[in-house]
Amino acid sequence: MGGWSSEREVSLSSGAGVADALESLGYQVTRIDMDRNLAQVLEAVRPDVVFNALHGTPGEDGTVQGLMDLM
């Protein structure tokens, strides 16, 4: 969620909504405000599942999805 596109605020809102819903169901959620160090952050967190709540670039152009495939 977050990122650097013009849709950053919408992305933060979407991500917060998804995270809140998952937490209410008992899931452990790590909220990551996307920046250019995403790969290093994910290596440190080692998530089992990633929900991509990014709007615009790089969330909707395949960049983040490609990174997830490589990890």
Q: Where are the domains of the chain?
A: 8-70
CA–CA distance, 25 with 47 (Å, rounded to integer) = 18
Residue whose tokens read 């950053």: 8
The pLDDT value recorded for residue 33 is 92
CA–CA distance, 19 with 13 (Å, rounded to integer) = 10
Please check whether residue 53 is in contact with residue 9, taking contact to mean a CB–CB distance below 8 angstroms.
no
Higher pLDDT, 16 or 37: 16
CA–CA distance, 55 with 34 (Å, rounded to integer) = 11
The fraction of the chain above a pLDDT of 90, given in percent, is 58
Span 18-70, pLDDT tens digits? 999 999 999 999 999 988 888 899 999 999 999 999 998 888 888 889 988 88
CA–CA distance, 15 with 3 (Å, rounded to integer) = 11
Query: Per the structure block, which two tokens stand in for 64?
Result: 């983040």
